[in-house]
Every structure is written in C-alpha cells, then in structure tokens.
Structure 1
Amino acid sequence: MNRRGKVYGSKEFNIDCKLKERIEENGYNTYASLTWKNNERQMFVALNGKGTPKRGPKTRRKSTNAHFLPIPL
C-alpha cells in the first residue's frame, strides 16, 4: 500500500510492503499499513464486492470489507 492508500503488487520488498496484522474478536484478520496513515487514521487493506481493492482512506477496521479469514495450511 502506497502513501495514498492504493494497494499494489511488488516484486521486491520495500517500505510499502509492511502491514500490521490484527486478529479480531470474530476470528477474522485485518491488515493495516505499518508505515502510512491518513489524518492519523490507519489505512486497511479491503476489497469491495467485486474483489477490487478499496483505497486506504476509505477503509475502517470494523468494516466487513477489511476482514479476511485465515486458512491454516
């Protein structure tokens, strides 16, 4: 996630690749940018109904769009 909140793929690890994982009370995980914030608010990785990424400033921790279900391998 870059400083504007756009989620993108990168071949090499850089400062934008650092995410903070949080296990929520409902068993889902959320991922927030460790480096970038928008007006002192965390920006979360979230997908809309069609599966495209939402911009970080429009995401919230409690939104179901930002909840991901971990699958043990």
Structure 2
Amino acid sequence: MADQVIRVRLDELLKERGMTLTELSHRVEITVVNLSILKNGHAKAIRFSTLERLCRALGCQPGDLLTYE
C-alpha cells in the first residue's frame, strides 16, 4: 500500500481569497514562521483552536484546509 499523507491546502486557499500569509498571520495571531511550517507540510500537529481560527479567517471548513491523499 502506498503511503498516505495529510496535505495542507493553505496556499491554495490564500490564493483563492487574495490574501497573503502575512495578512493571515495578523488575523489569526500566529507567526508567519509557524504558518509557513504548516503551509509547507512540515507541521507534526495542529491544535483545534488553531484550526478553528484559520477556518474563521479563511471562511472555510477544516476539510477545505486539510485533505487526506
């Protein structure tokens, strides 16, 4: 069986909304560095509170942000 992976679609959602990573950082009060780690798929975990703030700021559902491939 091929390895399955959780993919973060943060980059796509930012482009769709015409928002920069810096702008999102200010809205959700998370550093650009930590958002970049998440965006690039290097995060090992994400808190539900962080996921909630991201979804609120991006106007999306968790399934829009995270996919299982």
TM range (shorter): under 0.3
In terms of fraction of residues, the more helix-rich structure is 2
In the superposition, the TM-score normalised over structure 2's length comes to 0.26
Higher-RCO chain (CA-CA 8 Å, sequence separation at least 6): 2
In terms of fraction of residues, the more strand-rich structure is 1
In the superposition, the TM-score normalised over structure 1's length comes to 0.26
